């Protein structure tokens, strides 16, 4: 008891709090693209489903008919498709502003949406993504086309490796605190999320209750000198 009191008495009456190395995530609801891009992305999903049909059929013959359970239908690139140009430009301009907001000097860089694709999880459920990062981007994100409270959702994990080594139990996992190591974002049609590409993220297993489709992308800041060389070629 005396030792504990001695420690308490040695503390300053008030500690100053400074926060460093925070990890931003930005989101907004932009429903204006949903109807148009759902229609435009249908053909990409159908092509992916067709490409995986033999693989799914072979599995079902071997292990019993489970439909498309566990599969994720992944498109080829959407960049170059004029129907997605408005979203692509919106994403690129926003990523540029976010990198500047974070404190990066972009005077010698130009930000591009370098990758963009659409994904749909299996109707029978089981679709998911394991934890990963995007090493080839600076800003990544999602735009949800089909989603609800019954579908999968993105989960982000603390990117600081040192924090994982000394994790303690959280008092209340329903609240986001300094002790939180994972956070979830609800998916809904029209919701757009931006995050640094180094942020580990995954999608929880979808149960197949309702359709789940989203657009995913990477934005990269490319040195203007590199662009000049490429353009001259």
Average pLDDT, the chain: 87
Predicted confidence at residue 50, as pLDDT, reads 87
In this prediction, what percent of the chain has a pLDDT beyond 70? 85
Predicted confidence at residue 229, as pLDDT, reads 47
Q: Which two tokens stand for residue 150?
A: 């019954």
Set out the domains of the chain in order of their start, with CATH numbers.
24-157+182-232 (2.60.120.620)
Predicted confidence at residue 210, as pLDDT, reads 92
CA-CA distance, 32 to 29, in Å (whole number)? 9
Of the pLDDT bands very low, low, confident and very high (cuts 50, 70, 90), residue 178 is: confident
Look up the pTM and report it.
0.87
The secondary structure of residue 119, as a DSSP letter, is E
Q: Which two tokens stand for residue 167?
A: 């994790």
Of the pLDDT bands very low, low, confident and very high (cuts 50, 70, 90), residue 113 is: very high
Of 78, 202, 183, 179, the C-alpha closest to 132 is 202
pLDDT at 127 over 50: yes
């Amino acid at each position: 008891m005396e030792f504990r009191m001695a420690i308490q008495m040695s503390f300053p009456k008030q500690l100053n709090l400074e926060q460093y190395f925070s990890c931003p995530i930005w989101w907004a609801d932009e429903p204006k693209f949903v109807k148009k891009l759902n229609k435009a992305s249908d053909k990409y999903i159908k092509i992916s489903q067709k490409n995986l049909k033999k693989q799914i059929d072979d599995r079902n013959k071997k292990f019993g008919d489970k439909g498309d359970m566990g599969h994720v239908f992944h498109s080829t690139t959407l960049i170059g498709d004029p129907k997605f140009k408005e979203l692509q430009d919106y994403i690129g301009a926003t990523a540029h502003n976010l990198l500047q907001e974070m404190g990066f000097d972009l005077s010698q860089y130009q930000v591009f949406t370098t990758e963009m694709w659409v994904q749909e999880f299996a109707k029978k459920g089981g679709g998911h993504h394991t934890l990963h990062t995007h090493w080839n981007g600076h800003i990544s994100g999602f735009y949800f086309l089909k989603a609800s409270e019954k579908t999968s959702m993105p989960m982000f994990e603390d990117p600081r490796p040192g924090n994982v080594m000394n994790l303690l139990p959280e008092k209340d996992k329903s609240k986001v605190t300094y002790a939180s190591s994972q956070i979830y974002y609800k998916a809904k049609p029209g919701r757009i999320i931006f995050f640094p590409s180094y942020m580990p993220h995954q999608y929880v297993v979808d149960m197949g209750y309702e359709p789940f489709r989203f657009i995913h992308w990477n934005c990269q800041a490319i040195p203007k000198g590199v662009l000049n060389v490429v353009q001259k070629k």
